[in-house]
Amino acid sequence: MHIYPDAKAVVRDLAPDEPVILNRPHAALRAARFFIEKFPGKPLYAVKANPTPDLIQTLWSAGITHYDVASIAEVRLVRGLLPEAVLCFMHPVKTPSAIREAYFQHGVKTFSLDSVEELAKIVDACRNPETGEPATDLRLAVRLRVSSEFSELSLASKFGCDLIEAPQLLQQARQHCDWLGVCFHVGSQAMTPFAFVQALDRTRAAIAEASVVIDMIDVGGGFPSSYPGLEPPPLEDYFAMIARHFEALPIAYNAELWCEPGRALCAEYSSMIVKVEKRRGEELYINDGAYGALYDAAHVDWRFPVVALEDDLRDAAQDFAFYGPTCDDADYMQGPFALPGDIQAGDYVEIGMLGAYGTAMKTGFNGFGNAAQVLVADEPMMSLYRGDRVRPDADNVVSLR
Ligand SMILES: *Cc1c(COP(=O)(O)O)cnc(C)c1O
């Protein structure tokens, strides 16, 4: 497949009327190598952040062997691409048919749960269909509810059992498996390593109360990436803090430490070229939006980095808001996005850091949603992995070219 040097080369070649997604395998490879070398345990890739097959193959080639899957479609997808990968079904509410297919057809042994009902469901679904004997090779992970107070996107209210119920659930789960873990998720884009400290403190309390042997601690996702106005401390600080608090847990001497990064492994993988269809004052009508890869820009006012792709724009940067292409008023992204003041209809803009929960969110609503995908060789607009993070006070025109 042809590899373009950068977004400008794509515009010169294609002059695209629809958005184009630019993928950077080298950026995903670097992120994966970083986690494999520096995280003091095993990193699983959380597939929902970006299920693009090329990305999954790239992560596998970088050495990511374990995958956090949350639906039977994700199980089938990853198993189809990677026959030898270890798949862990980490959605705490599953249908029996999904559990059965995952276990019997795709070799999935690891399942998470946050209630006795789910425990019973997993045990039943994995019984030998002829003899009714329970499975002896289940690996179960009890999901604890922890605080999302340090994260930009909460995952605290939907899943996870309360600390009060956790000891009993751990004891019950222990009776159905030889390998028992505890997992949690501190919320996405955790802006301080202390997010993991509070979660590991709760984990310690639950394990101490239960007094069962724990074979694995899975600290989940939440590892941040870098965005304008959201520049986290170095990931090494997170890893060091997690390692220290993991060491202090009352668990088996050979217990494993896992994590499930989604965002941190793939945020830098993709950017997108959009075209300005119309300008109305400080509002730009572009051809992707709330129902496309800019879901978070519309729904939680995420400010992705932007750069104008025309060489003849001369004016100083000013702040713009974006309208997406659908006929819905909610298809609006307030930004602000700083672009040259003389930008106009027909010009192209590259929007960066869309590899996680960006391109994965695209829908076909209103007939918009097509986007070609191409490979580019240049650097992502921002990076946590090359040691040149932009100053926290810098604005969101990040020119690295
Ligand atoms: C979404 C999710 C992840 C990935 O979270 P990030 O914040 O993208 O790292 C990991 N584990 C589970 C169970 C999830 O639901």
In a domain, 98, yes or no: yes
* Centroid of ligand 1 to alpha carbon of 129 (angstroms): 33
Clarify whether residues 330 and 192 are in a common domain.
no
pLDDT, tens digit, 9 for 90 and up, residues 316-356: 999 999 999 999 999 999 999 999 999 999 999 999 999 99
Clarify whether residues 253 and 283 are in a common domain.
no
Q: Is the separation of the CB atoms in 177 and 209 below 8 Å?
A: no
What are the helix (H) ranges across 90-217?
96-106, 116-125, 166-174, 194-210
* Centroid of ligand 1 to alpha carbon of 221 (angstroms): 4
Strand-pair partners of 279: 284
User: What does each C-alpha distance from 123 to 33, 383, 391 come to in angstroms?
Assistant: 36, 43, 51
Instruction: Determine whether the shortest distance from the Cβ of 347 to ligand 1 is under 6 A.
Output: no
Clarify whether residues 13 and 55 are in a common domain.
no
In a domain, 200, yes or no: yes
Domain count, the chain: 2
Clarify whether residues 316 and 183 are in a common domain.
no
Q: Is the separation of the CB atoms in 93 and 70 below 8 Å?
A: no
Clarify whether residues 126 and 234 are in a common domain.
yes
Q: So what's the pLDDT on residue 400?
A: 35
Clarify whether residues 90 and 236 are in a common domain.
yes
Question: Residue 279: which of 312, 308, 302 has the closest Cα?
Answer: 308
Three-state secondary-structure class, residue 284 = strand
Instruction: Determine whether the shortest distance from the Cβ of 74 to ligand 1 is under 6 A.
Output: no
**What average pLDDT does the structure give for the chain?**
94
In a domain, 44, yes or no: yes
- Counting residues of the chain whose pLDDT is more than 90, the rounded percentage is 92
- CB atoms inside a 10 Å sphere around CB 387: 7
| Residue 394 in this model has a pLDDT that exceeds 60 | no
In a domain, 384, yes or no: no
Instruction: Determine whether the shortest distance from the Cβ of 187 to ligand 1 is under 6 A.
Output: no
Instruction: Determine whether the shortest distance from the Cβ of 223 to ligand 1 is under 6 A.
Output: yes
The residue out of 266, 294, 320 marking a domain boundary is 266
Say which CATH number the domain at 173 has: 3.20.20.10
* Centroid of ligand 1 to alpha carbon of 69 (angstroms): 10
The residue out of 266, 295, 323 marking a domain boundary is 266
In a domain, 386, yes or no: no
| Residue 67 in this model has a pLDDT that exceeds 80 | yes
Q: Higher pLDDT residue, 316 or 152?
A: 316
Domain that holds residue 284: 3-22+270-376
Instruction: Determine whether the shortest distance from the Cβ of 88 to ligand 1 is under 6 A.
Output: no
Instruction: Determine whether the shortest distance from the Cβ of 143 to ligand 1 is under 6 A.
Output: no
Say which CATH number the domain at 302 has: 2.40.37.10
Instruction: Determine whether the shortest distance from the Cβ of 48 to ligand 1 is under 6 A.
Output: yes
Instruction: Determine whether the shortest distance from the Cβ of 203 to ligand 1 is under 6 A.
Output: no
CA–CA gap between residue 307 and residue 285 (Å, rounded): 16
Q: So what's the pLDDT on residue 393?
A: 41
Categorize the per-residue pLDDT at 252 as very low, low, confident or very high, splitting at 50, 70 and 90: confident
* Centroid of ligand 1 to alpha carbon of 381 (angstroms): 23
Helix/strand/coil percentages in the chain, nearest 5? 30, 25, 45
Clarify whether residues 179 and 252 are in a common domain.
yes
* Centroid of ligand 1 to alpha carbon of 154 (angstroms): 11
Q: Which atom of ligand 1 is nearest to the CA of 155?
A: 15
| Residue 396 in this model has a pLDDT that exceeds 50 | no
Instruction: Determine whether the shortest distance from the Cβ of 190 to ligand 1 is under 6 A.
Output: no
Categorize the per-residue pLDDT at 397 as very low, low, confident or very high, splitting at 50, 70 and 90: very low
Clarify whether residues 278 and 260 are in a common domain.
no
Torsion over CA: 70, 72, 77, 83 (sign): positive
Q: Which atom of ligand 1 is nearest to the CA of 49?
A: 8
Q: Which atom of ligand 1 is nearest to the CA of 264?
A: 9
Instruction: Determine whether the shortest distance from the Cβ of 49 to ligand 1 is under 6 A.
Output: yes
Clarify whether residues 247 and 281 are in a common domain.
no
* Centroid of ligand 1 to alpha carbon of 130 (angstroms): 36
In a domain, 156, yes or no: yes
Clarify whether residues 224 and 296 are in a common domain.
no
Q: Which atom of ligand 1 is nearest to the CA of 265?
A: 9
Clarify whether residues 311 and 186 are in a common domain.
no
Question: Residue 68: which of 41, 50, 54, 83 has the closest Cα?
Answer: 50
Burial of 227 (0-12, 13-18, 19+ CB in 10 A): buried
In a domain, 187, yes or no: yes
Q: Is the separation of the CB atoms in 292 and 361 below 8 Å?
A: yes
* Centroid of ligand 1 to alpha carbon of 46 (angstroms): 6
Q: Which atom of ligand 1 is nearest to the CA of 222?
A: 7
Mean pLDDT of the region 370-384: 95
| Residue 391 in this model has a pLDDT that exceeds 70 | no
- Counting residues of the chain whose pLDDT is more than 70, the rounded percentage is 96
Q: So what's the pLDDT on residue 387?
A: 61
Three-state secondary-structure class, residue 255 = coil
Three-state secondary-structure class, residue 56 = helix
Clarify whether residues 326 and 217 are in a common domain.
no
In a domain, 303, yes or no: yes
CA–CA gap between residue 175 and residue 290 (Å, rounded): 46
Q: So what's the pLDDT on residue 392?
A: 41
The residue out of 248, 266, 284 marking a domain boundary is 266
